[in-house]
Amino acid sequence: MESTVKTRCCIVGGGPAGIMLGLLLARANVATVVLEKHADFLRDFRGDTVHPSTLEILTELGLKQRFDALPQRRINEIEGWFADGAHVMGDFRGLKPFPYMSLVPQWDLLNMLAEEAQRHPNFTLHMNTEATGLLYHDNRVAAVTATTPEGVLHVHADLVIGCDGRQSCLRDAAALQPQNLGAPMDVLWFRLPRHPDDPAGTYGVPGKGNFLVLLNRNDYWQAACVIAKGGSARLRADPIADFRARIARRVPFLADRIDTLASWDEVKLLEVRVDRLPQWHRPGLLLIGDAAHAMSPIGGVGINLAIQDAVAAANILAPALLAPGLPNDATLAAVQQRRLLPTKIIQAIQVLLQRRIIAPALASQDDGKPMRLSGVVRFFLRSRLIRSIPARVFGKGFRREHVRSPQPPAS
Protein backbone atom coordinates (compact mmCIF):
# COMPACT_ATOMS: atom_id res chain seq x y z
CA MET A 1 0.00 0.00 0.00
CA GLU A 2 1.26 3.54 -0.75
CA SER A 3 0.31 6.61 1.22
CA THR A 4 1.25 10.28 1.10
CA VAL A 5 1.36 12.95 3.77
CA LYS A 6 2.19 16.65 3.47
CA THR A 7 3.91 18.73 6.07
CA ARG A 8 5.95 21.90 6.40
CA CYS A 9 9.04 20.13 7.75
CA CYS A 10 10.04 16.46 7.64
CA ILE A 11 12.82 15.34 9.99
CA VAL A 12 14.45 11.99 9.30
CA GLY A 13 15.86 10.30 12.42
CA GLY A 14 14.60 10.27 15.99
CA GLY A 15 17.93 10.58 17.82
CA PRO A 16 18.85 13.53 20.06
CA ALA A 17 19.09 15.96 17.10
CA GLY A 18 15.83 14.89 15.41
CA ILE A 19 13.63 14.65 18.48
CA MET A 20 14.89 17.92 19.95
CA LEU A 21 14.43 19.73 16.64
CA GLY A 22 10.97 18.20 16.19
CA LEU A 23 9.99 19.36 19.67
CA LEU A 24 11.28 22.89 19.12
CA LEU A 25 9.64 23.33 15.71
CA ALA A 26 6.28 21.87 16.77
CA ARG A 27 6.41 24.03 19.90
CA ALA A 28 6.90 27.04 17.62
CA ASN A 29 3.77 26.01 15.69
CA VAL A 30 5.50 24.53 12.62
CA ALA A 31 3.83 21.35 11.28
CA THR A 32 6.58 18.76 11.71
CA VAL A 33 6.78 15.05 10.91
CA VAL A 34 9.61 12.93 12.36
CA LEU A 35 10.46 9.54 10.83
CA GLU A 36 12.33 6.99 12.96
CA LYS A 37 13.25 3.59 11.61
CA HIS A 38 13.20 1.79 14.96
CA ALA A 39 10.02 0.75 16.77
CA ASP A 40 11.17 2.37 20.02
CA PHE A 41 14.10 4.26 21.54
CA LEU A 42 15.26 1.28 23.58
CA ARG A 43 18.42 0.27 21.79
CA ASP A 44 21.95 -0.79 22.57
CA PHE A 45 23.99 1.58 24.68
CA ARG A 46 24.35 4.77 22.61
CA GLY A 47 26.11 7.03 24.99
CA ASP A 48 24.56 8.89 27.82
CA THR A 49 26.69 11.84 28.83
CA VAL A 50 24.38 14.82 29.25
CA HIS A 51 26.63 17.84 29.68
CA PRO A 52 25.87 21.21 31.33
CA SER A 53 25.17 22.73 27.86
CA THR A 54 22.24 20.31 27.43
CA LEU A 55 21.09 20.82 31.04
CA GLU A 56 20.80 24.54 30.23
CA ILE A 57 18.61 23.80 27.19
CA LEU A 58 16.38 21.48 29.22
CA THR A 59 16.01 24.23 31.83
CA GLU A 60 15.06 26.78 29.15
CA LEU A 61 12.41 24.35 27.92
CA GLY A 62 11.00 23.86 31.44
CA LEU A 63 11.99 20.18 31.34
CA LYS A 64 14.75 20.12 33.93
CA GLN A 65 12.55 18.81 36.76
CA ARG A 66 11.30 15.96 34.61
CA PHE A 67 14.85 15.24 33.50
CA ASP A 68 16.02 15.16 37.12
CA ALA A 69 13.42 12.47 37.83
CA LEU A 70 14.98 10.13 35.22
CA PRO A 71 17.31 7.42 36.51
CA GLN A 72 20.74 9.02 36.44
CA ARG A 73 24.04 9.61 38.09
CA ARG A 74 25.53 13.07 38.52
CA ILE A 75 29.25 13.26 37.96
CA ASN A 76 31.25 16.24 39.17
CA GLU A 77 34.69 14.87 38.49
CA ILE A 78 36.34 12.41 36.11
CA GLU A 79 39.30 10.52 37.45
CA GLY A 80 42.20 8.88 35.71
CA TRP A 81 43.31 5.58 37.24
CA PHE A 82 47.07 5.41 37.24
CA ALA A 83 49.67 3.06 38.70
CA ASP A 84 49.64 5.00 42.00
CA GLY A 85 45.84 5.35 42.24
CA ALA A 86 43.13 7.74 41.02
CA HIS A 87 43.79 11.40 40.08
CA VAL A 88 41.12 13.95 39.21
CA MET A 89 41.57 14.90 35.55
CA GLY A 90 38.36 16.83 34.92
CA ASP A 91 36.43 18.85 37.48
CA PHE A 92 32.92 20.19 36.81
CA ARG A 93 32.55 21.81 40.24
CA GLY A 94 33.42 25.33 39.07
CA LEU A 95 30.79 25.36 36.30
CA LYS A 96 27.64 27.40 36.75
CA PRO A 97 24.70 26.85 37.00
CA PHE A 98 25.27 23.09 36.66
CA PRO A 99 28.51 21.91 38.28
CA TYR A 100 28.08 18.34 37.00
CA MET A 101 27.22 16.18 34.02
CA SER A 102 24.49 13.56 34.17
CA LEU A 103 24.78 10.00 32.97
CA VAL A 104 21.30 9.15 31.73
CA PRO A 105 20.29 6.26 29.49
CA GLN A 106 19.78 7.86 26.07
CA TRP A 107 16.41 6.10 25.59
CA ASP A 108 15.04 7.74 28.76
CA LEU A 109 16.08 11.17 27.51
CA LEU A 110 14.57 10.51 24.05
CA ASN A 111 11.33 9.14 25.52
CA MET A 112 10.99 12.25 27.66
CA LEU A 113 11.61 14.63 24.73
CA ALA A 114 9.26 12.66 22.45
CA GLU A 115 6.50 12.70 25.09
CA GLU A 116 6.91 16.45 25.45
CA ALA A 117 6.87 16.94 21.66
CA GLN A 118 3.69 14.88 21.36
CA ARG A 119 1.85 17.39 23.54
CA HIS A 120 2.02 19.74 20.56
CA PRO A 121 -0.64 19.13 17.89
CA ASN A 122 1.84 20.06 15.14
CA PHE A 123 4.16 17.16 15.97
CA THR A 124 3.78 13.74 14.35
CA LEU A 125 6.19 10.89 15.04
CA HIS A 126 6.20 7.87 12.72
CA MET A 127 8.12 5.04 14.37
CA ASN A 128 9.06 1.91 12.40
CA THR A 129 9.45 4.15 9.35
CA GLU A 130 12.72 4.01 7.45
CA ALA A 131 13.57 6.74 4.95
CA THR A 132 14.92 5.23 1.76
CA GLY A 133 15.40 8.20 -0.57
CA LEU A 134 14.55 11.71 -1.68
CA LEU A 135 12.22 13.03 -4.37
CA TYR A 136 12.98 16.27 -6.21
CA HIS A 137 10.84 18.98 -7.78
CA ASP A 138 12.46 21.83 -9.74
CA ASN A 139 15.93 20.73 -8.57
CA ARG A 140 14.85 21.02 -4.95
CA VAL A 141 14.32 18.23 -2.42
CA ALA A 142 10.54 18.02 -2.14
CA ALA A 143 9.77 14.71 -0.41
CA VAL A 144 11.13 11.71 1.47
CA THR A 145 10.24 8.15 0.55
CA ALA A 146 10.07 5.69 3.41
CA THR A 147 9.09 2.12 4.12
CA THR A 148 6.68 1.27 6.92
CA PRO A 149 5.13 -2.05 8.02
CA GLU A 150 2.02 -0.97 6.03
CA GLY A 151 3.91 -0.14 2.82
CA VAL A 152 5.55 2.86 1.19
CA LEU A 153 5.09 6.35 2.64
CA HIS A 154 5.83 9.59 0.75
CA VAL A 155 6.26 12.63 2.96
CA HIS A 156 6.08 15.85 0.95
CA ALA A 157 7.70 18.71 2.83
CA ASP A 158 8.86 22.27 2.22
CA LEU A 159 12.04 21.38 4.10
CA VAL A 160 13.64 18.00 4.84
CA ILE A 161 16.13 17.77 7.70
CA GLY A 162 18.43 14.76 7.93
CA CYS A 163 19.13 13.82 11.54
CA ASP A 164 19.75 10.19 10.61
CA GLY A 165 23.13 9.78 12.23
CA ARG A 166 26.61 8.93 11.08
CA GLN A 167 25.42 6.44 8.43
CA SER A 168 22.94 9.00 7.05
CA CYS A 169 21.08 7.69 4.03
CA LEU A 170 19.84 11.20 3.16
CA ARG A 171 23.44 12.40 2.94
CA ASP A 172 24.13 9.62 0.44
CA ALA A 173 20.91 10.30 -1.46
CA ALA A 174 21.91 13.97 -1.84
CA ALA A 175 25.49 13.03 -2.85
CA LEU A 176 26.96 14.96 0.07
CA GLN A 177 30.38 13.51 0.89
CA PRO A 178 31.86 13.92 4.40
CA GLN A 179 35.54 14.74 4.81
CA ASN A 180 37.19 12.08 6.98
CA LEU A 181 39.37 13.63 9.71
CA GLY A 182 40.70 10.27 10.86
CA ALA A 183 40.49 8.28 14.07
CA PRO A 184 43.17 5.83 15.27
CA MET A 185 40.81 3.87 17.49
CA ASP A 186 37.63 1.87 17.86
CA VAL A 187 35.71 1.23 21.06
CA LEU A 188 34.38 -2.02 22.51
CA TRP A 189 31.43 -1.39 24.85
CA PHE A 190 30.24 -3.86 27.48
CA ARG A 191 28.70 -3.98 30.93
CA LEU A 192 29.92 -5.44 34.18
CA PRO A 193 28.07 -5.63 37.51
CA ARG A 194 28.97 -2.95 40.04
CA HIS A 195 29.28 -3.96 43.70
CA PRO A 196 28.33 -1.62 46.57
CA ASP A 197 31.93 -1.47 47.83
CA ASP A 198 33.41 -0.64 44.38
CA PRO A 199 35.09 2.76 43.91
CA ALA A 200 32.41 5.43 43.52
CA GLY A 201 33.81 7.52 40.66
CA THR A 202 33.84 7.53 36.87
CA TYR A 203 37.25 6.57 35.54
CA GLY A 204 39.56 6.54 32.59
CA VAL A 205 42.19 3.81 32.94
CA PRO A 206 45.02 4.65 30.54
CA GLY A 207 47.45 1.93 29.56
CA LYS A 208 49.58 0.64 26.72
CA GLY A 209 47.92 -1.17 23.82
CA ASN A 210 44.39 -0.34 24.99
CA PHE A 211 42.70 1.61 27.71
CA LEU A 212 39.46 1.53 29.58
CA VAL A 213 36.71 3.92 30.54
CA LEU A 214 34.40 2.94 33.39
CA LEU A 215 31.13 4.85 33.65
CA ASN A 216 29.48 4.36 37.00
CA ARG A 217 25.82 3.50 36.36
CA ASN A 218 24.98 2.69 40.02
CA ASP A 219 24.32 -1.05 39.75
CA TYR A 220 26.61 -1.69 36.77
CA TRP A 221 29.72 -0.35 35.07
CA GLN A 222 29.26 0.72 31.48
CA ALA A 223 32.75 -0.09 30.30
CA ALA A 224 34.57 0.94 27.15
CA CYS A 225 37.79 -0.63 25.95
CA VAL A 226 39.55 1.66 23.48
CA ILE A 227 41.57 -0.36 20.96
CA ALA A 228 43.61 0.41 17.85
CA LYS A 229 41.47 0.99 14.72
CA GLY A 230 40.45 -2.25 13.04
CA GLY A 231 41.73 -4.36 15.97
CA SER A 232 38.34 -5.81 16.90
CA ALA A 233 38.39 -8.74 14.44
CA ARG A 234 41.82 -9.82 15.71
CA LEU A 235 40.66 -9.71 19.34
CA ARG A 236 37.44 -11.56 18.53
CA ALA A 237 39.38 -14.36 16.87
CA ASP A 238 40.63 -15.26 20.38
CA PRO A 239 38.38 -16.70 23.11
CA ILE A 240 36.46 -14.13 25.19
CA ALA A 241 38.47 -15.46 28.18
CA ASP A 242 41.59 -13.71 26.81
CA PHE A 243 39.72 -10.40 26.67
CA ARG A 244 38.35 -10.95 30.19
CA ALA A 245 41.89 -11.61 31.49
CA ARG A 246 43.14 -8.42 29.84
CA ILE A 247 40.43 -6.32 31.54
CA ALA A 248 41.01 -7.96 34.94
CA ARG A 249 44.77 -7.35 34.69
CA ARG A 250 44.20 -3.69 33.97
CA VAL A 251 41.50 -3.16 36.66
CA PRO A 252 42.03 -5.81 39.36
CA PHE A 253 38.84 -5.03 41.32
CA LEU A 254 36.80 -6.22 38.30
CA ALA A 255 38.39 -9.70 38.40
CA ASP A 256 35.73 -11.17 40.72
CA ARG A 257 32.88 -10.50 38.24
CA ILE A 258 34.64 -10.52 34.89
CA ASP A 259 33.22 -14.00 34.11
CA THR A 260 29.74 -12.44 33.81
CA LEU A 261 30.92 -11.25 30.40
CA ALA A 262 29.82 -14.55 28.90
CA SER A 263 30.54 -14.15 25.18
CA TRP A 264 31.67 -11.76 22.46
CA ASP A 265 27.95 -11.16 21.70
CA GLU A 266 27.87 -8.96 24.80
CA VAL A 267 30.69 -6.75 23.47
CA LYS A 268 29.53 -4.10 21.00
CA LEU A 269 31.87 -2.43 18.55
CA LEU A 270 31.74 1.32 17.94
CA GLU A 271 33.78 2.10 14.83
CA VAL A 272 35.01 5.56 15.69
CA ARG A 273 34.74 8.12 12.92
CA VAL A 274 35.51 11.80 12.96
CA ASP A 275 34.17 13.44 9.86
CA ARG A 276 32.42 16.59 8.66
CA LEU A 277 30.44 17.61 5.64
CA PRO A 278 31.97 20.56 3.77
CA GLN A 279 28.40 21.57 2.93
CA TRP A 280 25.48 20.68 5.20
CA HIS A 281 22.69 21.56 2.80
CA ARG A 282 21.17 21.33 -0.66
CA PRO A 283 18.07 23.19 -1.83
CA GLY A 284 15.25 21.88 0.38
CA LEU A 285 17.55 19.70 2.52
CA LEU A 286 19.65 20.34 5.65
CA LEU A 287 21.75 17.86 7.65
CA ILE A 288 22.62 18.30 11.33
CA GLY A 289 23.99 16.22 14.23
CA ASP A 290 26.07 13.14 13.45
CA ALA A 291 24.73 13.21 9.87
CA ALA A 292 26.72 16.42 9.34
CA HIS A 293 29.67 15.68 11.65
CA ALA A 294 30.49 12.40 13.40
CA MET A 295 32.41 13.09 16.61
CA SER A 296 35.11 11.11 18.40
CA PRO A 297 33.92 9.70 21.74
CA ILE A 298 36.54 11.89 23.50
CA GLY A 299 34.66 14.15 25.92
CA GLY A 300 31.28 12.43 25.33
CA VAL A 301 30.05 15.36 23.28
CA GLY A 302 28.03 13.67 20.49
CA ILE A 303 24.59 13.94 22.07
CA ASN A 304 25.27 17.44 23.29
CA LEU A 305 26.49 18.82 19.95
CA ALA A 306 23.50 17.18 18.23
CA ILE A 307 21.21 19.03 20.65
CA GLN A 308 23.06 22.32 20.18
CA ASP A 309 22.67 21.89 16.40
CA ALA A 310 18.94 21.28 16.86
CA VAL A 311 18.51 24.42 18.97
CA ALA A 312 20.46 26.56 16.49
CA ALA A 313 18.50 25.09 13.57
CA ALA A 314 15.17 25.79 15.29
CA ASN A 315 16.21 29.35 16.17
CA ILE A 316 17.08 30.08 12.55
CA LEU A 317 14.48 27.96 10.74
CA ALA A 318 11.34 28.50 12.83
CA PRO A 319 10.81 32.09 11.62
CA ALA A 320 11.44 31.03 8.01
CA LEU A 321 9.03 28.10 8.32
CA LEU A 322 6.36 30.27 9.95
CA ALA A 323 6.58 32.77 7.08
CA PRO A 324 5.03 31.92 3.72
CA GLY A 325 7.21 30.41 0.97
CA LEU A 326 10.05 27.92 0.91
CA PRO A 327 13.09 28.28 3.17
CA ASN A 328 15.92 29.39 0.89
CA ASP A 329 19.53 28.27 0.65
CA ALA A 330 20.81 31.29 2.58
CA THR A 331 18.67 30.28 5.59
CA LEU A 332 20.02 26.72 5.47
CA ALA A 333 23.57 28.03 5.06
CA ALA A 334 23.05 30.20 8.15
CA VAL A 335 22.54 27.07 10.25
CA GLN A 336 25.81 25.58 8.99
CA GLN A 337 27.60 28.88 9.51
CA ARG A 338 26.34 29.09 13.09
CA ARG A 339 27.36 25.54 14.02
CA LEU A 340 30.52 25.07 11.96
CA LEU A 341 32.95 26.86 14.28
CA PRO A 342 32.01 25.03 17.52
CA THR A 343 32.07 21.71 15.64
CA LYS A 344 35.48 22.49 14.13
CA ILE A 345 36.97 23.52 17.48
CA ILE A 346 35.84 20.37 19.29
CA GLN A 347 36.88 18.11 16.41
CA ALA A 348 40.30 19.81 16.26
CA ILE A 349 40.81 19.17 20.00
CA GLN A 350 39.67 15.56 19.62
CA VAL A 351 41.98 14.95 16.64
CA LEU A 352 44.92 16.52 18.51
CA LEU A 353 44.34 14.28 21.56
CA GLN A 354 43.92 11.27 19.28
CA ARG A 355 47.24 11.96 17.53
CA ARG A 356 49.33 13.04 20.50
CA ILE A 357 48.09 10.75 23.27
CA ILE A 358 45.80 7.99 22.06
CA ALA A 359 47.55 6.76 18.90
CA PRO A 360 51.02 6.43 20.52
CA ALA A 361 49.55 4.65 23.58
CA LEU A 362 47.57 2.22 21.41
CA ALA A 363 50.63 1.50 19.28
CA SER A 364 52.65 0.30 22.31
CA GLN A 365 52.75 -3.28 23.54
CA ASP A 366 50.08 -4.11 26.16
CA ASP A 367 51.86 -4.74 29.47
CA GLY A 368 48.59 -5.14 31.38
CA LYS A 369 49.49 -2.36 33.82
CA PRO A 370 47.94 1.05 34.38
CA MET A 371 50.17 3.92 33.24
CA ARG A 372 52.35 6.08 35.46
CA LEU A 373 51.35 9.72 35.69
CA SER A 374 54.33 11.98 35.09
CA GLY A 375 55.38 14.36 37.87
CA VAL A 376 54.81 17.39 35.65
CA VAL A 377 51.21 16.43 34.86
CA ARG A 378 50.62 15.58 38.51
CA PHE A 379 51.90 19.04 39.47
CA PHE A 380 49.57 20.82 37.05
CA LEU A 381 46.59 18.70 38.08
CA ARG A 382 46.89 20.11 41.60
CA SER A 383 45.31 23.28 40.25
CA ARG A 384 41.52 23.22 40.19
CA LEU A 385 41.63 25.80 37.40
CA ILE A 386 43.54 23.40 35.18
CA ARG A 387 41.34 20.46 36.17
CA SER A 388 38.29 22.49 35.19
CA ILE A 389 39.53 23.10 31.61
CA PRO A 390 38.34 19.75 30.13
CA ALA A 391 34.99 20.17 31.90
CA ARG A 392 34.58 23.66 30.46
CA VAL A 393 35.69 22.70 26.94
CA PHE A 394 33.53 19.58 26.61
CA GLY A 395 30.81 20.32 29.16
CA LYS A 396 29.97 23.87 28.12
CA GLY A 397 31.36 23.87 24.59
CA PHE A 398 31.80 26.91 22.38
CA ARG A 399 29.20 29.34 21.06
CA ARG A 400 26.53 27.89 23.33
CA GLU A 401 22.97 27.90 22.00
CA HIS A 402 19.88 29.13 23.82
CA VAL A 403 16.28 28.45 22.93
CA ARG A 404 15.04 31.46 20.97
CA SER A 405 12.49 29.77 18.74
CA PRO A 406 9.00 31.09 19.47
CA GLN A 407 7.15 30.07 22.62
CA PRO A 408 4.08 27.81 22.40
CA PRO A 409 0.82 29.76 22.21
CA ALA A 410 -0.80 30.13 25.63
CA SER A 411 -3.45 27.40 26.07
Residues of the shown chain interacting with ligand FAD in the complex, contacts defined by CB under 6 A: 12-18, 35-38, 45-49, 130-131, 163-165, 169, 189, 270, 289-291, 295, 297, 300-304, 306
Instruction: Report which DSSP code applies to 300.
Output: S
Q: At its nearest, how many Å lie between ligand FAD and the CB of residue 297?
A: 5
- Residue among 36 and 116 whose Cβ is closer to ligand FAD: 36
Q: How far is CA 400 from CA 39, 109, 291, in A?
A: 32, 20, 20
> In whole angstroms, what is the distance from residue 88 CA to residue 105 CA?
24
Instruction: Report which DSSP code applies to 72.
Output: -
Instruction: Report which DSSP code applies to 101.
Output: E
- Residue among 289 and 370 whose Cβ is closer to ligand FAD: 289
Q: At its nearest, how many Å lie between ligand FAD and the CB of residue 168?
A: 7
Instruction: Specify whether the CB–CB gap between 276 and 292 falls below 8 A.
Output: yes
Give the start-end residues of each E strand in 201-324: 203-205, 211-217, 220-228, 268-270, 275-276, 281-282, 285-287
- Residue among 21 and 258 whose Cβ is closer to ligand FAD: 21
Q: At its nearest, how many Å lie between ligand FAD and the CB of residue 323?
A: 27
- Residue among 148 and 245 whose Cβ is closer to ligand FAD: 148
- Residue among 308 and 373 whose Cβ is closer to ligand FAD: 308
- Residue among 228 and 306 whose Cβ is closer to ligand FAD: 306
Give the start-end residues of each E strand in 194-278: 203-205, 211-217, 220-228, 268-270, 275-276
Which residues have C-beta within 8 Å of that of residue 7, sequence separation ≥ 6?
31, 32, 33, 124, 155, 156, 157
- Residue among 208 and 289 whose Cβ is closer to ligand FAD: 289
Instruction: Specify whether the CB–CB gap between 254 and 389 falls below 8 A.
Output: no
Q: At its nearest, how many Å lie between ligand FAD and the CB of residue 16?
A: 4
Q: At its nearest, how many Å lie between ligand FAD and the CB of residue 51?
A: 7
Q: At its nearest, how many Å lie between ligand FAD and the CB of residue 160?
A: 12
Q: At its nearest, how many Å lie between ligand FAD and the CB of residue 262?
A: 20
- Give φ, ψ of 203 to 5 degrees: -130, 145
